[in-house]
C-alpha cells in the first residue's frame, strides 16, 4: 500500500473511533506520511517504468489475415486517400507485396515502418474496422447524390434488441450530417427508400441479394451514392464492451460513405477506417469535405476551429501537463495551453488525433504517457500518437476503477486516484488492484463533491470545481487557494 493509502486508513480509524472515549485515538499522521501526494513526479520518474494497466491481449493475426484486411481496405488500389494515391506511395507496381502493404499501413498509423507484422501492427489490424468500399464508382468520378432530400429504411434490427434506442441513434447520426450540409433525411417504411439499413452476420442480404463482409473483424460497410445502403455486423453492437456511443460513431462513419466520403488516413477524422474513437459529430475535416460535395446549410451548425478564451469558461472538463511544463485544460471540443497569455481554445483533435471532445478526466503518468478517460473507455497517447489497442475498456485495463469519473490524479508513488460524485477510489499500480479502502468519502480529503477536473504536475496536485481551485497540502488535505491558471 502506498504511504497515502496508509494515511487514509489512519484518517478512517480516527474518524470512526475518536468519538468513543474508551478507545485511544490514533495519532495524527505526520507530513512525511502523506508527502507522496504532492511529491515531485520527476523524483519518482526515474524509479519506475511500470505500466499501470493490465496487459493488452495481442490478437491472433496471420499474414493471410493481414493481407485480406489490407487489400479489403484498399491498400493495393489506385485510389485517393486525403489526396495521395496509395499506389504511388511505395512503387509503381500494380500488385504490392504484403511487406509493402504493411509498411504503408504502418506509416498511416504512426507505427514503425518495418514491414513486419509485429505486435503493434497486429493490435491495429486485428481491431474491428470499417469494411471495404463498395461501389461502381470510378477513379475519375465524383460520387454524390443528385438530390437533396433522401429517405432511409431500417430493414431489420439485431435479434433480441429493442428497436427504440437504435432508431433514435440512427436518426441522430443522420441529423448530425444534415446540420452541416444541404441534405435532409427522413425515415420511411417502403422498400424503395434511397438508403436501406440492415443488421446481420458475416453473410447477410442487400435488398434480397447475398452480401458478405470481407472478414470477421468488419464492423460495417456501406455503398457509395447512388446506392447508399449500409450494413452493420450485429455481433459488434449492443453486446459486451461496446456502447451506444460506439454505434453512433460507426453509424456516422458509414453514413459518410453513403453520402460519398472516402476513408481518411487522419485519426482526427470521423472517416478513419479503424475502430470507433467515440466521435459524436462530423469533425472539421469531414465537414469541409461534405460541404465541398453538397454545400453549406444556411443556419446550420457552424464549424468552429477555435474556442472562446480560457478565462471566459465557467468550468473545465479535464486538465493535464506535459514533459515541458505546459499545462493544458480541456473543455468541450477544445484544449487550452494555460502557459500562454489569453489562451484561446484549439481543437483537441489537432493536438491528440483520435481523441474525442467532452473528456471526463486525464492525467500524465510517470513514464510520460498521457491518459484520457471518457465514459467506460480510455485513450493512451505517447506524445501526440494514439497508441495501438486504444481506445480501450477501463474495466479491462484498470480493474475496479469506475466509469464516468469526474477527475483523476497520480501521486508520487504512481497510484491513481479517481473521483466520482462524493467518493474516490485508489488504484494501486504495483498490485493492479483497487485499495481495500475504496471507495472512500471525498470529504476526507477536504474536497467538494462532483469535481470538474484535477491536475498533478511535477510539484503540485490540485483540483477544480467551477472557478475554484483546491491544492493538496502536506497535511494530506486540500484547501482552497488562488490559481492564476484560469485568469485572463
Residues belonging to the active site: 254
Burial of residue 159 (CB within 10 Å: 0-12, 13-18, 19+) is: exposed
| Closest listed residue to residue 475, CA positions, set 14, 31, 19 | 31
Q: Which residues contact 41 (CB under 8 A, 6 or more apart)?
A: 364, 366, 410, 412, 456, 457, 458
How would you label 459-486 residue by residue, b for 16+ Cβ within 10 Å and e otherwise?
A: eebbbbbeeebbbbbebbbbeeeebebb
In sequence order, which ranges of 38-86 are alpha helices (DSSP H)? 41-45, 63-72
Q: What is the spatial distance between Cα 328 and Cα 101, in angstroms, rounded to a whole number?
A: 37
H runs (alpha helix) in 282-414: 284-294, 348-351, 394-397
- Distance of alpha carbon 392 from alpha carbon 50, whole angstroms: 18
Cα separation, 488 vs 310, in Å, equals: 7
Sequence-ordered list of residues with C-beta below 8 angstroms from that of 193, at least 6 positions apart, any chain:
151, 152, 153
Looking at the chain, the number of H-run helices and the number of E-run strands are 12, 29
In whole angstroms, give the CA distance from residue 476 to residue 20: 24
DSSP string for 112-152: ----S--HHHHHHHTS-EE---B-S--TT-----S-SEEEE
Dihedral angle computed from the Cα positions of residues 167, 170, 174 and 176, in that order, rounded to the nearest 10 degrees: 110
| Residue 172 main-chain phi, psi, to 5 deg | -65, -40
On whether the CB atoms of residues 282 and 292 are closer than 8 A, the answer is no
Residue 334 forms beta bridges with which residues? 331, 347
Nearest CA-CA partner of 427 in 133, 53, 147 = 53
Residues 6+ apart with CB under 8 A from 30: none
Q: Residues 266, 82: contact at Cβ < 8 Å?
A: yes
Amino acid at each position: 500500500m502506498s504511504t497515502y493509502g496508509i494515511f487514509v486508513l489512519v484518517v478512517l480509524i480516527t474518524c470512526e473511533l475518536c468519538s468513543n472515549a474508551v478507545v485511544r485515538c490514533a495519532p495524527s499522521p505526520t507530513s512525511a506520511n502523506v508527502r507522496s501526494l504532492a511529491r515531485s513526479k520527476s523524483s519518482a520518474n526515474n524509479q519506475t517504468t511500470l505500466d499501470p494497466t493490465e496487459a493488452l491481449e495481442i490478437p491472433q493475426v496471420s499474414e493471410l489475415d493481414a493481407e485480406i484486411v489490407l487489400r479489403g481496405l484498399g491498400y493495393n488500389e489506385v485510389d485517393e486517400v486525403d489526396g495521395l494515391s496509395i499506389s504511388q506511395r511505395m512503387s509503381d507496381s500494380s500488385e504490392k507485396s504484403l511487406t509493402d502493404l504493411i509498411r504503408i499501413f504502418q506509416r498511416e498509423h504512426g507505427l514503425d515502418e518495418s514491414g513486419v507484422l509485429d505486435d503493434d501492427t497486429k493490435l491495429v489490424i486485428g481491431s474491428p474496422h470499417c469494411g471495404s468500399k463498395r461501389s461502381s464508382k470510378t477513379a475519375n468520378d465524383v460520387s454524390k447524390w443528385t438530390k437533396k432530400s433522401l429517405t432511409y429504411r431500417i430493414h431489420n434490427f439485431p435479434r433480441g434488441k429493442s428497436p427504440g434506442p437504435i432508431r433514435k441513434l440512427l436518426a441522430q447520426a443522420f441529423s448530425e450530417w444534415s446540420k452541416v450540409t444541404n441534405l435532409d433525411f427522413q425515415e420511411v417504411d417502403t422498400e424503395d427508400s434511397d438508403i436501406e439499413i440492415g443488421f446481420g452476420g458475416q453473410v447477410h442480404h442487400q435488398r434480397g441479394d447475398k452480401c458478405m463482409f470481407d472478414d470477421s473483424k468488419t464492423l460495417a460497410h456501406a455503398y457509395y451514392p447512388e446506392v447508399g445502403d449500409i450494413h452493420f455486423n450485429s455481433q459488434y453492437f449492443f453486446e459486451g464492451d461496446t456502447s451506444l456511443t460506439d454505434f453512433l460513431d460507426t453509424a456516422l462513419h458509414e453514413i459518410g460513405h453513403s453520402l460519398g466520403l472516402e476513408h481518411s488516413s487522419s485519426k482526427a477524422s470521423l472517416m478513419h477506417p479503424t475502430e470507433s474513437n467515440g466521435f459524436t459529430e462530423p469533425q472539421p475535416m469531414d465537414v469541409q469535405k461534405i460541404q465541398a460535395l453538397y454545400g453549406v446549410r444556411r443556419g446550420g451548425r457552424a464549424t468552429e476551429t477555435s474556442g472562446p478564451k480560457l478565462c471566459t469558461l465557467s468550468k473545465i472538463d479535464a486538465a493535464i501537463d506535459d514533459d515541458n511544463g505546459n499545462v493544458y485544460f480541456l473543455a468541450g471540443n477544445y484544449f487550452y495551453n494555460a502557459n500562454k497569455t489569453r489562451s484561446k481554445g484549439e481543437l483537441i483533435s489537432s493536438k491528440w488525433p483520435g481523441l474525442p471532445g467532452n473528456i471526463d478526466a486525464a492525467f500524465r503518468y510517470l513514464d510520460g504517457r498521457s491518459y484520457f478517460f471518457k465514459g467506460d473507455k480510455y485513450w493512451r497517447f505517447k506524445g501526440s500518437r494514439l497508441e495501438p489497442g486504444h481506445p480501450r475498456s477501463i474495466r479491462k485495463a484498470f480493474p475496479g476503477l469506475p466509469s464516468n469519473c469526474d477527475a483523476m490524479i497520480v501521486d508520487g508513488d504512481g497510484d491513481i486516484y479517481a473521483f466520482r460524485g462524493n467518493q474516490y477510489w485508489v488504484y494501486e499500480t504495483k498490485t493492479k488492484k483497487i485499495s481495500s479502502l475504496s471507495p472512500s468519502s471525498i470529504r476526507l480529503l477536504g474536497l467538494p463533491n462532483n469535481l470538474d477536473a484535477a491536475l498533478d504536475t511535477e510539484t503540485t496536485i490540485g483540483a477544480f470545481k467551477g472557478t475554484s481551485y483546491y491544492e493538496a497540502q502536506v497535511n494530506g488535505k486540500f484547501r482552497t487557494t488562488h490559481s492564476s491558471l484560469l485568469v485572463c
